[in-house]
Amino acid sequence: MNNELLHHLEQRINAAVEEISTLRQRISELEMQNYELTEEKEEISSKLNQQSEQHSNWENSLNQMLNKLNQLD
């Protein structure tokens, strides 16, 4: 009976160790995915900021041209 109990506990411990290993691997995968997504987000955010700045510059240029045209009238 005692040997059966020890064998059962050993099986459960081995299963738990396997599960921990699987979970650690999944955590590593998720951390890598998170890193990649963070990099992608920063890149997209940077592009968006550049486009926004460019839009603002174009808008300012157009307003300056309109102001000069209005002064001619």
Q: What residue ranges do the domains of the chain occupy?
A: 1-73
pTM for this one?
0.67
Which pLDDT does position 48 carry in this prediction? 98
What is the chain written as a DSSP string? -HHHHHHHHHHHHHHHHHHHHHHHHHHHHHHHHHHHHHHHHHHHHHHHHHHHHHHHHHHHHHHHHHHHHHHH-
Please compute the mean of the pLDDT values over residues 51-71 and round it to a whole number: 96
Please compute the mean of the pLDDT values over residues 35-44 and round it to a whole number: 98
Which pLDDT does position 72 carry in this prediction? 87
